[in-house]
Every structure is written in C-alpha cells, then in structure tokens.
Structure 1
C-alpha cells in the first residue's frame, strides 16, 4: 500500500456556500472552516470532502470538452425520486438526458460540479 484516500478537495468560488450543499447531501459535518477552505467529516470524524476557494473559478459544463468535469461523485441513495426532490431543493440541477427511472441520474451542484445519485441497481 502506498497510501490511503484522505479527502476529496473540490475547487469552487465560495467554500462556505458549497459546503452547505454537501453537508446536507452527504450527511457530513464541518471539521474545519475558514474563508478559503472548509473540510467536512463523516460520523467517525475522518475528513471526507473539502472545498477550496479558487479565484477566477470556471465551472465545468456537462458534455462540453472545453470545460470538462474532471471528476464527479456518485452518491448511493435508496430511492431516486425521493433523493432527487431533496437535492433539487438544495439547489442542484438535473442535467439533460438524466431522467432515468432506476439506476442513476446526473445532476450538477450549485456551482456546476456534476454528481450522480445512484441506486444499487445502477452499480
């Protein structure tokens, strides 16, 4: 083993604002919180995801090779319809062509990072 995953860091224009979205989406809590960097942790206290301020941030665009997403998160949920209503209320956007009834659906967070809601059938 070379190492272990410590955290995923997401670039964004406002770490506090985007962290609020992911706190609710992933049931995480804040471990560290500054104007330029927010770290969220899981119930065990391990860091999971962090948000880093980037001046001049350019949001990715789904399907646009000039502004690719580079990575995305898959979030396991028990029911797509219920989870969709919840993430849309938090400020997510359902991306075109993502209206699948089972398996997975693709969204973007409030600043344009793509993520998928997936169910066990989609794995």
Structure 2
C-alpha cells in the first residue's frame, strides 16, 4: 500500500452552502468550517469530504466534453425513490438520461457536480 484516502476534495463557489447539501445527503457533521474551506467527517474520522472555494468556478456539465465531470460520488441508498425525493428537496437535480440501469440514477448537486444514488442491486445483480 502506498497510502490511504485522506479526503475527497470538491471545488465550489461557496464551501459552506455546498457542505450543507452533503451534510444532509451523507449524514456527516462538519469538523472544520471556514469561509474558504469546510470539512465533513464520519464519527471515526476515517472518511472525509472537503469543500474548497474556487474563484471563477465553472460547474461541470453532464456529458459535455467542453466541461466534463472529473469525478463523482456514489451514494449507496436503501430505496432509490425515497432517496430521490430527499435529494431533490435538498436542491439536487435529476440529470436527463441518467435513469438507466436498475438501482442507479445520476443527479447534480446544487453547484452542478454530478453524483449517483445507487442501490445494492446496481452493485450485485439480483441482490
């Protein structure tokens, strides 16, 4: 092993606002909070998501080669329809053409980063 994942870092125009979206989505509390940098972590401190302010932020565009998504988050959920209602209420947007395989849908967070809601069915067919 060369190392271990320390944090997933997401660029955005307003770290506090976007962190609020992911706090609700992932049930991870803030452990660091400043105007330019917000960190969420699980209770053990082994999984972290960091949000950093980027000037002149340009959101990715789903399937647009001029502004591609460089990475995205997969969130495992129990019930895709229930989770969809919840993320839409938080400010997410269902992306067109994302309702493809069973147990898998693609959304954009409030600043345009794509993320997926997935169920066990999409990981293990027939589960």
Evaluate the alpha carbon distance shift between residue 18 and residue 4 of structure 1 in structure 2; reply closer, same or farther with a 3 A threshold: same
Residue number in structure 2 paired with 1:32: 32
Q: Which runs of 5+ in 2 are unaligned?
A: none
> Is the Cα–Cα contact under 8 Å of residues 29 and 40 in structure 1 kept in the other structure?
yes
Give yes or no for contact 1:13–1:53 (8 Å, CA) kept in 2. yes
Please report the TM-score for the alignment, with normalisation by the length of structure 1: 0.96
Give 1:35-74 correspondences, 5 Å limit: 35-74=35-74
Give the root-mean-square deviation of aligned CA atoms. Answer: 1.1
Unmatched runs of 5 consecutive residues or more in structure 1: none
8 A Cα contact 1:80 1:101, kept in partner: no
Tell me: CA distance 1:15–1:39, structure 2 relative to 1, closer, same or farther (3 Å): same
1:47 deviation in Å? 4.7
2:11 is the alignment partner of 1:15: no
Question: Residues of 2 paired with 1:2 and 1:47: CA distance?
Answer: 18
Moved more, 56-65 or 95-104: 95-104
Please tell me whether residue 79 in structure 1 is matched to residue 79 in structure 2.
Answer: yes
Question: Offset of 1:101 from its aligned partner?
Answer: 7.7
TM-score by length of 2: 0.93
2:103 aligns with 103
Total equivalences in the alignment: 123
